[in-house]
Chain A
Amino acid sequence: MSKQTELDQLLRTVALSSEELTGFDRRSFLRNGLTLLGGAGLAAAAAADPGMPPNVPPWTKRLGSGVTTDPYGKPSPFEADVKRRTVEWLTADKIASISFTPLADLKGIVTPSGLVFERYHAGLPAIEPQQHRLMIHGMVKRPLILSMDDLMRFPSTSMIRFLECPANGGMEWRGAQMDRLQFSHGMLACCEWTGVLLSTLLEEVGIDKKASWILAEGADGSHMSRSIPMDKALDDALIVYAQNGEALRPEQGYPVRLINPGWEGNTCVKWLRRLEIGDKPWYHREETSKYTELMPDGRSREFSFVQECNSVVTSPSPEKPLTKPGKYWVEGLAWSGRGKIKRVDVSFDGGVSWRPTKFTSIVLPRALTRFGLEWDWDGSTALVQSRAVDETGYVQPTYTQLRDVRGSSSIYHKNAIHTWKIENNGGVRNVQIS
């Protein structure tokens, strides 16, 4: 047996024996064991990295746990830091507040249900599905009360669509202040939503010819309410009871919510209990005091429903810094409430020159779309931006263009081209440029 083989065998023994110990015990055992072996930097490296060939890691040499150990599976415990987070100073308490989707760690275009941002106005209600009812009334021939079982008997439709709070990025109208992507763009998600087209239910109740607006109202303590124009209701509004293949998550409106694809998340009323058909909007709090945009002349825009074309680079980002000069796959997400994304370009010099990207996901209307391109980083400072164009030809605007028209007090609907500054150490900083 050669000296090297002997050493390797001994190291494996040390490593495996130490598996039975935990924490401090294991570390000191390893240290002592390796000291005994003496003078081997190589050996220390090998023991510290049991997955590195030629080592065979311990999990390969023993049995794992059996089926149904965890009957409803969870992400690996090593992914525990991929989670929703909130920004404490934004709201008075956690009951009427918001949390953010960890966009930097997500892949593809579908947001896992447990990571979809939360927005509550009176906390998360604990609703018993058997007790929940959806009432449809007002200017209809046949006012209805539907149980969840009733609702699920109607023809079912699924669609992958983004969901975005119109206040997404709203903290940055006056300047960059969020330290990471999760907080600058994380009021955003994209899921497969399954339910009944609202148009089907409207046919079933028989709406009056003069009906033009619908009030959607939640069963939570805030009775969150929004007025929805009939055109949207008859187009693609969906009464949703499932998300990413399973029942809606409580945070997302269990057992049933409204989804207005491409529109303000706030109109997608959760824990939906009532739809009233009428001939005028209701002008409730969430469509007058909130979710209206104050313009520089002191007037405010109302019923600004659509989420316009937007995009952001998700890697690099503050959470995904660069390590050393070399080739990187730069990627991000683009979306538009007006339809499909047509193209996305990326700039590395603050918008002087742009490079086309390719789509790395399926391209669906009113859905997140993933783009990417290769970049050879030379180690110098760079200003990385993405600019999306949607199928209407609308080009995502700059901050300067938005502020010229809207000032900086409008809170909602900020869809400006976003800039990440790459520092020469590879760190990534959220900045705004002139």
Chain B
Amino acid sequence: MGGCAMSRSAKRLPRSVTIALSLTACLLGSSAVVAADKTGYYGYGLKATPEQIAGWDIDVRPDGKGLPPGSGSVEDGEYLYEEKCAECHGSFGEGVGKYPTLAGGEGSLRDDRPHKTVGSYWKYTSTLWDYIHRAMPFTQPESLGDDEVYALTAYVLYLNDLVEDDFVLTQENLSSIRLPNEGNFIPDARPDVTNKHCMKKCRNPADIKITSEAPAYVPEPKSEPVATGGSMAGAAGKPVFDQYCAICHASGVGGAPIVGDIEAWAPRIAQGMDQMVGHAVDGYQGDAGMMPAKGGFSQLSDEEVRQAVQAMVEASQ
């Protein structure tokens, strides 16, 4: 460590001063001496190699730093979007249910009900590329190739009338695609309100009116421990369902039968467990929609899928 050794510059000072300085440094602890640079002081962990960093360094900045080489067209994006995005975001970016709307809302930000979308609100195109790449599709993050991300970004720009239908987005041109709302972001201005500290006669009682009232709180029935019905497999499948299947089977996304909808499940249950599990494991194209193999969660074992199906069946009959 050497925190208490005499420094080079100290040697030019008279000996008594040098000793005093060194002692002070030692008494204050080593920080006073080595504060200039403690890099590697503890030496724990491993030095990250460029290859290791590249595997995780996915972020992209507005200036284009972090974008990988590649390109994608609106045309390619349209195909991918229909396949991977439309079931939540809608074919025109209008959003399904409470899933985010991607397009529209131009000029609505000062309205009573502003409509915030990529075109009306987002600041930078790089954010779109970065977000699709880091977090989409919702059920399969980091599954898209770089060119696919370029294509989908191009298509969402197209849905917002920001590029033409023959546009091709590339590593080189992405930073030059500016979004309409870029100039409308300002720094935090808080504290921005000043309330007076007053204790007596702070306002006229006659001015006080109730302007809004929430519904009355009705306590839920007290819970009592109840023995849960159902099989062991169904019980084991419940967490799998919650974690993986509920995304679609609790909301009905993509035409998925909603758990608890007895009518929707009856014909499926009539086919028998083996067929239902087969469809869930291998994937299935039905009239109402598509069940991806294992819902897109390839890490699930066949047994986990079976247990989840069992749990859904038990909750839907």
Report A's interface with B, CB cutoff 8 A. Answer: 77, 80-81, 91-96, 121-124, 135-137, 141-147, 150-151, 153-154, 175-180, 184, 203-206, 215, 217, 221-223, 225, 273-274, 276, 278, 280, 282-285, 288-289, 292, 294-306, 308, 318-319, 345, 349-356, 383, 387, 389, 394-398, 401-402, 404-406, 409, 413, 421, 427-434
How many angstroms between the C-alpha atoms of A345 and B192 in the bound complex?
Answer: 22
How many angstroms between the C-alpha atoms of A203 and B39 in the bound complex?
Answer: 6
Summarize B's interface: helix, strand, loop or mixed: loop
8 Å CB interface, B217-259 against A: 217-220, 222-223, 225, 242-243, 246-247, 250-251
How many angstroms between the C-alpha atoms of A353 and B46 in the bound complex?
Answer: 62
Contact B184 A300, beta carbon cutoff 8 Å = yes
Contact A225 B59, beta carbon cutoff 8 Å = yes
Residues of A within 8 A of B121 (CB): 289, 294, 300
How many angstroms between the C-alpha atoms of A203 and B38 in the bound complex?
Answer: 6
Contact A145 B45, beta carbon cutoff 8 Å = yes
Residues of B within 8 A of A154 (CB): 42, 44
Q: Interface residues of B, CB < 8 Å — how many?
A: 90
Q: Can you pick out 12 interface pairs between chain A and chain B where the beta carbons lie within 8 Å of each other?
A: A92-B88, A93-B250, A122-B138, A123-B243, A150-B44, A223-B141, A285-B135, A289-B131, A301-B187, A395-B195, A396-B195, A405-B192
Contact B185 A299, beta carbon cutoff 8 Å = yes
Contact B42 A394, beta carbon cutoff 8 Å = no
Contact B127 A288, beta carbon cutoff 8 Å = yes
A132 to chain B, nearest CB (A): 12
> Which of B42, B210, B225 sits near A77, CB closer than 8 Å?
B225
B259 to chain A, nearest CB (A): 12
Contact A434 B207, beta carbon cutoff 8 Å = yes
Summarize A's interface: helix, strand, loop or mixed: loop
A415 to chain B, nearest CB (A): 9
8 Å CB interface, B35-62 against A: 37-42, 44-48, 52-53, 56-62
A86 to chain B, nearest CB (A): 12
Contact B56 A147, beta carbon cutoff 8 Å = no
Asked whether A283 and B62 contact (CB < 8 A) given A91-B98, A296-B110, A308-B191, the answer is yes
Asked whether A153 and B187 contact (CB < 8 A) given A223-B134, A273-B56, the answer is no
> Which of A122, A278, A352 sits near B208, CB closer than 8 Å?
A352
Residues of A within 8 A of B46 (CB): 144-145
Contact A289 B41, beta carbon cutoff 8 Å = no
A433 to chain B, nearest CB (A): 5
B162 to chain A, nearest CB (A): 15
Proximity string of chain B (185-213) to chain A, C-beta cutoff 8 Å, 1 when within and 0 when not: 11111111111111111111101111111
B124 to chain A, nearest CB (A): 5
Contact B40 A206, beta carbon cutoff 8 Å = yes
How many angstroms between the C-alpha atoms of A123 and B135 in the bound complex?
Answer: 12
How many angstroms between the C-alpha atoms of A362 and B88 in the bound complex?
Answer: 48
B284 CB within 8 Å of chain A: no
| 9 nearest A-B residue pairs (beta carbon) | A206-B39, A175-B212, A318-B217, A92-B98, A304-B188, A430-B214, A143-B48, A395-B195, A223-B134
Asked whether A80 and B202 contact (CB < 8 A) given A283-B61, A308-B190, the answer is no
Residues of B within 8 A of A123 (CB): 243
Residues of A within 8 A of B211 (CB): 175, 431-434
Contact B109 A298, beta carbon cutoff 8 Å = yes
A74 to chain B, nearest CB (A): 12
Contact B97 A92, beta carbon cutoff 8 Å = yes
How many angstroms between the C-alpha atoms of A431 and B208 in the bound complex?
Answer: 12
Report B's interface with A, CB cutoff 8 A. Answer: 37-42, 44-48, 52-53, 56-63, 88, 97-99, 109-110, 112-114, 116, 118, 121-124, 126-127, 130-131, 134-135, 138, 141-142, 184-205, 207-220, 222-223, 225, 242-243, 246-247, 250-251
Asked whether A276 and B59 contact (CB < 8 A) given A303-B188, A345-B199, the answer is yes
How many angstroms between the C-alpha atoms of A260 and B114 in the bound complex?
Answer: 31
Contact A288 B193, beta carbon cutoff 8 Å = no
Contact B208 A95, beta carbon cutoff 8 Å = no
How many angstroms between the C-alpha atoms of A241 and B247 in the bound complex?
Answer: 29
Name which residue of chain A comes closest to B35, CB basis: A203
How many angstroms between the C-alpha atoms of A144 and B47 in the bound complex?
Answer: 5
Contact A434 B45, beta carbon cutoff 8 Å = no
Residues of B within 8 A of A135 (CB): 48, 52-53, 56
How many angstroms between the C-alpha atoms of A387 and B18 in the bound complex?
Answer: 57
Residues of A within 8 A of B204 (CB): 352
Residues of B within 8 A of A297 (CB): 110
Name which residue of chain A comes closest to B188, CB basis: A304
Residues of A within 8 A of B131 (CB): 284-285, 289
How many angstroms between the C-alpha atoms of A221 and B143 in the bound complex?
Answer: 11
Name which residue of chain B comes closest to A296, CB basis: B110
A145 to chain B, nearest CB (A): 5
Contact A429 B213, beta carbon cutoff 8 Å = yes
How many angstroms between the C-alpha atoms of A288 and B186 in the bound complex?
Answer: 11
Residues of A within 8 A of B61 (CB): 278, 280, 282-283
Contact B127 A285, beta carbon cutoff 8 Å = yes
Contact B191 A394, beta carbon cutoff 8 Å = yes
Residues of B within 8 A of A406 (CB): 192
Contact B135 A354, beta carbon cutoff 8 Å = no
Name which residue of chain B comes closest to A317, CB basis: B217
Residues of B within 8 A of A294 (CB): 109, 114, 116, 121
Extra pairs beyond A96-B138, A301-B185 (15, CB < 8 Å): A144-B48, A147-B45, A206-B37, A273-B56, A276-B57, A276-B59, A282-B61, A289-B127, A295-B186, A301-B187, A302-B188, A303-B187, A319-B219, A421-B210, A428-B217
Asked whether A430 and B213 contact (CB < 8 A) given A223-B135, A301-B187, A405-B192, the answer is yes
Best-buried of B42, B124, B222, B225 by chain A (most CB within 10 Å): B42
Residues of A within 8 A of B47 (CB): 142-145
How many angstroms between the C-alpha atoms of A430 and B217 in the bound complex?
Answer: 9
Name which residue of chain A comes closest to B212, CB basis: A175
Asked whether A221 and B141 contact (CB < 8 A) given A81-B220, A135-B48, the answer is yes
How many angstroms between the C-alpha atoms of A404 and B195 in the bound complex?
Answer: 12
B254 to chain A, nearest CB (A): 12
How many angstroms between the C-alpha atoms of A421 and B250 in the bound complex?
Answer: 37
Residues of A within 8 A of B188 (CB): 301-306
Asked whether A352 and B190 contact (CB < 8 A) given A145-B52, A179-B216, A204-B38, the answer is no
